[in-house]
């Protein structure tokens, strides 16, 4: 099995104990990658990445990272989705700035 964590163009934009939402810089593709390496990853759209990230932050104590390179569209979609649910994105404890 391929160890996806070894790729240098892999950027984690959100995570829970069950999965990570990642974007690969070279291809520009988004994936939901389970932490259990025996489960296959799933190619997803940026909108689906945002939805899964927000759902995970609300239900699974997930973390969404803002400021990750290549994540501007993702961040806009996350903010819009959070606002559409009647919440202020700045109030989410799970949103952290990448350092």
Q: In the predicted model, what is the mean pLDDT of residues 26-49?
A: 93
0.85 exceeded by pTM: no
Q: What is the pLDDT of residue 95?
A: 55
Q: Is residue 93 part of a domain?
A: no
Count of structural domains within the chain: 1
Across 34-38, 79-83, 87-91, least confident range: 87-91
Q: What is the pLDDT of residue 73?
A: 93
Q: Is residue 9 part of a domain?
A: yes
Q: What is the pLDDT of residue 68?
A: 87
Which residue range is the domain that position 14 belongs to? Answer: 4-85
**Residue 91 CA, distance from chain mean position:** 18
Per the CB < 8 A criterion, the answer to whether 45 and 60 are in contact is: no
Q: What is the pLDDT of residue 92?
A: 62
Q: Is residue 97 part of a domain?
A: no
């Amino acid at each position: 099995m391929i160890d996806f964590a070894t790729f240098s163009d892999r950027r984690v934009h959100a995570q829970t104990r069950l999965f990570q939402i990642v974007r690969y810089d070279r291809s520009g593709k988004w994936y939901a990658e389970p932490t259990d390496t025996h489960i296959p990853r799933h190619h997803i759209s940026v909108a689906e990445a945002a939805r899964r990230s927000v759902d995970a932050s609300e239900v699974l104590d997930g973390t969404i990272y803002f400021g990750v390179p290549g994540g501007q569209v993702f961040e806009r979609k996350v903010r819009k989705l959070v606002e559409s649910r009647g919440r202020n994105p700045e109030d989410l404890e799970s949103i952290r700035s990448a350092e």
